[in-house]
Structure 1
Amino acid sequence: MSTATQIIHSIPADPLTGAIAVPIYQTSTFIQDAPGVNKGYDYARSNNPTRATLETIIAQLEEGSTGIAFGSGLAAIDAVVKLLKSGDEILAVDDIYGGAFRLFTHIYEKFGISVNYTDTTNVENVFNAVTPNTKLIWIETPTNPTLKISDIAAIAKVAKAHGCLLCVDNTFASPALQKPLTLGADIVVHSATKYLGGHSDLIAGLIVSKDKAIGEKLKFIQNATGAILAPFDSWLVIRGIETLTLRVKQHGINAQAVAEFLEQHPAVDKVYYPGLPSHVNHDIAKRQAKGFGGVVSFTLKNDSEAAAISFVTNTKLFKLAESLGGVKSLLCHPANMTHKSIPAEKRRNAGVADSLIRLSVGLEEVEDLINDLEQSFEALKNNALIENQAAIFNN
């Protein structure tokens, strides 16, 4: 069965009424027949039929044992870290989402969980960085925002050899393109806010575990800490999943065209997109995923923060905003937005330059998107000419 068909038919009809859409059980509690005797639900923090349906769907799509839905992607990441204890170490990808960096460094390091960042695109780096205290290897692939690709299967072998868990943030790819658990990962996390929801109208996080025992631990953490996803937001994610394959396919087509345009543009220095043959990890991306996603990043030849800010504030169709993965195209300046919490030197060492711009390529006609980028490049060029003329005049 194709992925598209599997995704559409993973969403069940309501067995009680035959409703083709999943019902929203907007309730906080459930009537019991006797103390402790119920129909599978007692209190909505512990479980809810709408949320349970979403958790079953994502577990099926990622081919795992247990799905768990949280109030945000960071809440999902937080639950995974709670599997560890003081003295344990996380080995994490260097080009990491700023929110994950903030959580690891500013919250959990003070509780005695250390973090070691390395370039996971080279599996030898991972092998050499593992210590006896390493209990969790954390990768994003593709990474945010420089679209680095790590070899999931190779890193899974390293993790297994050293008794570590491997967690893959699969937000950028989604199960429509990539299934890390089938490649050897132990845990997958998603910011369902992005491609799974797909419409920029909710905040949600998901975890899928490969092993049932780990899933039970994570489920206990979810209930004990209470960072659950509400019924209506669970329904919104389910609705988004129905069109996931179609949307992700078009996102990828548009992103490929935008990346090729940027690669030829005289004002652009580097383009980061795994669908380009020039991408250093292009072959790995082709091998472990069915496509390359909808995010493209690039740096300007005029490698200045001011030039990047000028560019991102001059686009018309690309809206300046946090987040990604929605129908409408977005762009951001990571150094001042999504990755501002990472110290500048560490950020630059990971490849997040001051002029780096991240595009979330939407579902508009790609010619319109390219024209929008071109007019912003022209505005940047005109501003530079005006500045040069003013400097000559002042001298």
Structure 2
Amino acid sequence: MSTADWSPRTRAITAGRPAGPDAPMNVPIAPASALGLGYAREHGTETWAAFEDAIGQLEGGTAVAYASGMAAISAVFDLLPAGAEVAVPGYSYVGTRDLLDYAERTGRLRGRRIGPTDTAGWVAAAAEADLLLLESPTNPTLDPMDIAAVAEAARAHGARVVVDNTFATPLGRQPLALGADLVLHSATKLIGGHSDLLLGLVVSGDEELAGALREARTRAGATPGVLETWLALRGLRTLPVRLAAASETAALLAERLAAHPAVWNVRHPPGTMIAFELADAAAADACCAALSLIQHATSLGGVDSSMERRAARPADSHVPAGMLRFSVGLEDPEDLWRDLESALDEVDGARNTGSVARS
């Protein structure tokens, strides 16, 4: 049986694994700063190579690992000439928007913000922008984006399309197959899966572009730590089962949240993330404070469930005030629901008695 016939679930476990009858079961950690007369930052290590090979196989391209997701985004921006225009969703990862804001303030790049679901606006922007950075779905509002339509328009005008695939993961979507030029990942999140590392990835369908990304990594010194890379590869091995279990739980919780009287506008694209709204900021903050199992934390994509009101952060103040972003982990679904229901009932009861002030 050819390895090309294996399913993504199988390849997530086997890709990058040492070959041969006497090879180790796992890729070794290679803590080497120099390789002969060269530095590891220039040539990579066998640990990096195995991880990049595995992600590349799943995304259908060539992967380049970075020290963090932000380093990966920075590398993509560094490929652009001075004065280039970058379009990003109005609701999108705060780090991406912060980086673009800085590039605008310093005169390095020009920015454009477009509503995530405004596909006509994105298609029109493809005629003027140099780079269109999409998310699948958006962070934190979980809006869907039409990657294929935007990519088709971009090809007609020579624009480059980049898709942040962190929430969907390579098992949920392969943007290169939909026409994207590059795929971004914060491997800190679902790929690593245990909230214990920082790592980023860019995947390219073009070898020349992948080479430019490696050069950008070397120049900036944005190389990944060998232990972090090894941990991320180990996390990738369990991604299929983690993603399936957490997604199943998320679907159950989203259905129950939609039926709760304190909740509306529940958004749950396939996957592990849920966004839902309460009456206002005070209600959302009270809900987070009342949780005992679900962690009130900004991290996401780990085995532990977490929740956060993103509008509490200044850079995300335009997000609906009562919206909560919920990352579903691997705890027992009924335990998670009891925690959620108790917190929501407490908030709903307080609001009905007038003890929670509106913001």
Q: Tell me whether the two structures share a fold, i.e. TM-score over 0.5.
A: yes
For the pair shown, the structure with the greater C-alpha radius of gyration is 1
Residue matched to 1:298: 276
Q: What is the Cα-based RMSD across aligned positions, in Å?
A: 1.8
CA distances 1:84-127 after superposition (whole Å, capped 9, x unpaired): 12221011112111111111112454233111111242321112
C-alpha displacement of 1:234: 0.4
What is the correspondence of 1:271-286 to structure 2 with a 5 Å cutoff?
A: 271-274=266-269
Where does the alignment leave 5 or more consecutive residues of structure 2 unmatched? Answer: 1-5
Do the aligned partners of 1:14 and 1:21 also contact (CA within 8 Å) in 2? no
Distance 2:117 2:334 in 1: 33
Is the CA contact (8 Å cut-off) linking 2:126 and 2:159 kept in structure 1?
A: no
Would the alpha carbon gap of residues 227 and 259 (structure 1) be closer, same or farther in structure 2, given more than 3 Å must change?
same
Cα pair 1:11 1:242 within 8 Å, conserved: no
Measure, in 1, the Cα distance between the counterparts of 2:104 and 2:77. 8
- 194, 197, 207: which one pairs with 1:199? 194
- In the alignment, which residue of structure 1 is the partner of 2:332? 365
Greater shift in the superposed pair: 52-61 or 162-171 = 52-61
Deviation by residue 1:69-91 (Cα, 9 ceiling, x = unmatched): 11110110010001112221011
Deviation (angstroms), 1:341: 1.9
Match of 1:283 in 2: none
Provide the TM-score with structure 1 as the length reference: 0.85
Q: Partners of 1:232 and 1:328 in 2: how far apart?
A: 21
Q: Who is 1:97 aligned against?
A: 93
What residue ranges of structure 1 are gaps of 5+ in the alignment?
33-41, 275-291, 391-395
- State the AA in 1 paired with 2:48: R
Task: Identify the residue that residue 220 of structure 2 maps to in structure 1.
Answer: 225
- Report the counterpart of residue 13 of structure 1 in structure 2: 18
Query: What is the match of residue 315 of structure 2?
Result: 341
**What is aligned with 1:158?**
153
- 1:51 paired with 2:18, answer no
Equivalent residue, structure 2, for 1:67: 63
Partner deviation per Cα, 1:325-349 (whole Å, 9 max, x = no partner)? 1001001110124xx324x3xx2xx
SS at match of 1:176: helix
- Displacement of 1:387 in angstroms is 4.2
Q: Is the 8 A contact 1:51 1:231 kept in 2?
A: yes
Question: How far off its partner does 1:30 sit?
Answer: 2.2
| Aligned 1:244-263 pairs, distance under 5 A | 244-263=239-258
Q: Which runs of at least 4 in structure 1 moved beyond 4 Å after TM superposition?
A: 14-17, 385-390
Query: Judging changes above 3 Å, is the alpha-carbon distance between structure 1 residues 159 and 20 closer, same or farther for their aligned structure 2 residues?
Result: same
In the TM superposition, residue 196 of structure 1 has moved relative to its aligned partner by 0.4
- Contact 1:24–1:232 under 8 Å retained in 2: yes
Q: 2:84 maps to what in 1?
A: 88
**Aligned-pair distance for 1:136?**
0.3
Aligned partners of 1:258 and 1:79: how far apart in 2? 37
Q: TM-score, normalised by structure 2?
A: 0.94
Question: Which aligned pairs between 1:377-392 and structure 2 lie closer than 5 A?
Answer: 377-384=344-351, 387-388=354-355
Structure 2 partner of 1:307 = 283
AA aligned to 1:186 is D
C-alpha separation in 1, matches of 2:167 and 2:55 = 15
SS in 2 for 1:313: helix
Shift of 1:131: 4.5
The SS at the match of 1:367 is helix
Q: Which digits, 9 at most, give the CA deviation of each residue in 1:210-263, with x for residues without a partner?
A: 111111111100001011111100000000010111111111101101110111
- Report what 1:190 is aligned to: 185
